Copies of this chain bind each other. A is one copy, B any other.
Amino acid sequence: MAKERAGMTEETQYMMDRIVTKEPENVPTSGDAKEMRAVVLAGFGGLNKLRVTKKPMPEPQDGEVKIRVKACGLNFLDLMVRQGTIDNPPKPPLVPGFECCGIVESVGENTTGFEIGDRVMAFVHYNAWAEIVCTQVDFVYKMPEEMSFAEAAAFSLNFVAAYMMLFEVANLREGMSVLVQSAGGGVGQAVAQLCSTVPNVTVFGIASCFKHAAIRDSVTHLFDRNVDYIQEVKKISPEGVDIVLDCLCGDNTGKGLTLLRPLGTYILYGASNMVTGETKSFFSFAKSWWQVEKVNPIKLYEENKVIAGFSLLNLLFKHGKCSLVKSVMDKLLCLYDQKKIKPVVDSLWALEEVKEAMQRIHDRGNIGKLILDFEKSPTPLMASDSTETSEAGEEEEEPEGDNDSKERMPFIH
């Protein structure tokens, strides 16, 4: 047994043993009406802070919808939550996760628009990674009939973020050019697809080399993250590009601004460079905050440039823009119905495999979205896979500047 699971962390081993003994697969885990399975983050830190446990099942409050969850999206943001590098997180223990999809099981009082049995996708302010989720009706959207749960879990956050950045913040129009960091990621793939809905848009994608074969057709020009992509882009478009989408922050902010043509917009929508090792490194966090190039508005004036930040979570849960997001979702579902966009799913993971899934995102191994699939059981691994194992579960910091480890292939396919 040890050999077969050599690639797994001890924690996952423990969780699987627990499931096998306590919760045989054939018996629905929701058999106990008052309890549900959920991923719990015991405290901020490494992968070993994550557990799959039983939690009391929530009941919908006024204006809430109760959803039996089928699948959840896993985002880079969830890594930052785990590390505690996100702004103002709730106190652990907490259930992570910001998006899910499933079937409406009941609705609270004063909740209109949804009926029991509706297939829905939803945003949640934490607590998505659980069998049952209750969330405000404003954050719930009906799924198109032909959309699978895996697709729905890959849809909401990535496509809404991509759409709002391109069309609400930056005003993408015919003939423009867009540069997207992490072109192979969930947002990157959504950006590429949305750009193709506007005539004559050139997309410059940055991605690790090993993803190039898989995503080459989604963008116009593709560059290796490790080459000096500024020079390469300028060879093709000497004036620069109209929109730069950056989820990395740090050095890339300055590079992004350099690449903007006049009236161009740089949008920072993530700060994944803050995450260097498995656990929060104060040094790396402070470095990102203080060393990111601060921008003098007078320089923007002289250069006719625009710099923006975009955080969909803050927009939804802090800035109260759910009706705007709803109108964006309507447009996106229209594009989906017209088969103009389709979420790219990287891989499906059982709840108990959340650590391996997170490590895959950390290693930037994914092409498209990682999904936590509530109907999937953990996949036993082959012994040969262990050679690719990352140092998941250890508390050690990665050495500063060790970017190679981020480009490693993931250890689970």
Question: Per-position contact with B for A249-270: 1 when CB-CB < 8 Å, else 0?
Answer: 1000100000001110110111
| Cβ A263 vs Cβ B169 within 8 A | yes
Which of A2-10, A31-39, A307-315, A348-356 interfaces with chain B?
Answer: A307-315
Instruction: Check: A227 CB closer than 8 A to any chain B CB.
Output: no
Instruction: Check: A198 CB closer than 8 A to any chain B CB.
Output: no
| Cβ A262 vs Cβ B314 within 8 A | yes
For residue A303, which residues in chain B have a CB less than 8 angstroms away from its CB?
Answer: 309, 314
How many copies of this chain does the complex contain?
Answer: 2
Instruction: Check: A171 CB closer than 8 A to any chain B CB.
Output: yes
For residue A145, which residues in chain B have a CB less than 8 angstroms away from its CB?
Answer: none
- Expressed in whole angstroms, the minimum distance between the Cβ of A76 and any Cβ of chain B is 13
For residue A288, which residues in chain B have a CB less than 8 angstroms away from its CB?
Answer: 298
Instruction: Check: A299 CB closer than 8 A to any chain B CB.
Output: yes
Instruction: Check: A289 CB closer than 8 A to any chain B CB.
Output: yes
For residue A304, which residues in chain B have a CB less than 8 angstroms away from its CB?
Answer: 309-311, 314-315, 319
The CA of A311 and the CA of B300, in the complex, are separated in Å by 9
Instruction: Check: A334 CB closer than 8 A to any chain B CB.
Output: no
Having A265-B306, A304-B309, one finds 7 other A-B pairs with CB under 8 Å, namely A168-B171, A261-B319, A268-B301, A271-B298, A292-B297, A295-B297, A302-B309
Instruction: Check: A305 CB closer than 8 A to any chain B CB.
Output: yes
Question: Per-position contact with B for A360-387: 1 when CB-CB < 8 Å, else 0?
Answer: 0000000000000000000000000000
- Expressed in whole angstroms, the minimum distance between the Cβ of A317 and any Cβ of chain B is 11
Interface size class, chain A: 35 or more
A-B contact list, 29 entries, CB within 8 Å: A169-B306, A171-B171, A249-B298, A253-B297, A261-B319, A263-B315, A263-B319, A265-B306, A268-B301, A269-B301, A271-B298, A288-B298, A289-B298, A292-B297, A293-B297, A294-B294, A294-B295, A295-B296, A300-B308, A301-B309, A301-B310, A302-B309, A302-B314, A303-B309, A303-B314, A305-B308, A306-B308, A307-B307, A307-B308
For residue A269, which residues in chain B have a CB less than 8 angstroms away from its CB?
Answer: 301
The residue on B at minimum CB distance from A266 is B297
Chain A interfacial positions (CB closer than 8 Å to B): 87, 168-169, 171, 249, 253, 261-263, 265-266, 268-271, 288-289, 292-311, 314-315, 319, 321, 324
| Cβ A296 vs Cβ B292 within 8 A | yes
Which of A253, A288, A294, A304 is the most central at the interface, judged by chain B CB atoms within 10 Å of its CB? A304
The CA of A269 and the CA of B296, in the complex, are separated in Å by 13
